[in-house]
Amino acid sequence: MAKQKTILFLCTGNYYRSRFAEILFISVAAKMGLPWRVSSRGLALERGVNNVGPMAAVAIKALEAMGIRDRERCARLPAQVTVDDLEQADVIVALKHAEHLPLLQERYPAFAGKVEFWHVDDAPESLGLIEGEIMDLMARLLGGGKMREGTSQEIEQSSRPIKEPAKKTITLKVGRETAGRRGKGVTTVFDVPLNEDGLLELAAKLKQRCGTGGTVKDGRIEIQGDQRERVVAELEKLGYKVKRVGG
């Protein structure tokens, strides 16, 4: 029998993505006879002001379409993650890197380096991606592998994570540049704690929200036009601390 593990899925409101992942993982593990403990929690429940009911109806319907019915877990209310939840988990998965890393760094910095991050948007079409990620995670768990590159926790680690000193909160800076651009300024976002893929993903989201073009250059994001107010608002929605610089 496989060694018992505790798996914790995280998203922002514990209403949609993490709940779907939790229930689907439990179903797969049960079919394989794996006695693993699985749960899900939210990093910022206060942001789910528009969530109606205990769990997203679209997620419940998607599970039912797969032949999975779990009334008890679907009926519970969203739950805020606690330090105890994080300490007791052998494997922690956050569903969206760009969205959840800043929240972890701000609220639970000692665990930010112990989490495996996926790239699942808060959208119905992402449920198929969650299913694929779960099957990949299951294979790695059974194979005694490690967390994906960029995380420090080994899947076979059974001891609780050691608390690290709290890290300084990272603040993104938003400004505007017009010099050398023939009057066509750009809104800049810099000091972003993401790799190249993360920057491109965040830039794409900001361009979509602002309805304009943009690029990633020299480790920073440039959005066409004076979009500072909208960019700041969108970054704060994603959980970032933001500071406006310049005029």
For residue range 27-52, list pLDDT tens digits in order.
Answer: 999 988 888 999 999 999 999 888 99
Of 50, 46, 43, the residue nearest 9 (C-alpha): 43
The yes-or-no answer to whether 6-142 and 171-244 have a common fold is no
E strands in 90-219: 91-94, 116-117, 171-177, 186-190, 214-217
Would you kindly state where each structural domain of the chain is located, as residue ranges? 6-142, 171-244
Mean pLDDT (the chain) is: 85
- In single-letter form, the type of residue at position 16 comes to Y
Secondary-structure percent of the chain, ordered helix, strand, coil, rounded to 5: 40, 20, 40
Q: Identify the pLDDT of residue 247.
A: 61
pLDDT tens for each residue of 192-210: 877 887 788 888 888 888 8
Choice between 215 and 1, residue whose per-residue pLDDT is larger: 215
Please state which CATH number belongs to domain 6-142. Answer: 3.40.50.2300
Q: Which of 50-54, 92-96, 138-142 has the highest mean pLDDT?
A: 92-96
Cα–Cα dist 29/89, whole Å: 16
pLDDT tens for each residue of 94-132: 999 999 999 999 999 999 999 999 999 988 888 889 999
Q: Identify the pLDDT of residue 20.
A: 97
Mean pLDDT score, 74-81: 96
Cβ count near 52 (within 10 Å): 9
- In single-letter form, the type of residue at position 35 comes to P
- The two tokens of residue 43 are 């990093």
7 has which bridge partners? 38, 91
- What percent of the chain has a predicted confidence (pLDDT) above 70? 86
Please state which CATH number belongs to domain 171-244. Answer: 3.30.780.10
Q: Is 38 left (phi over 0), alpha (psi -120 to 50) or beta?
A: beta
Cα–Cα dist 70/88, whole Å: 24
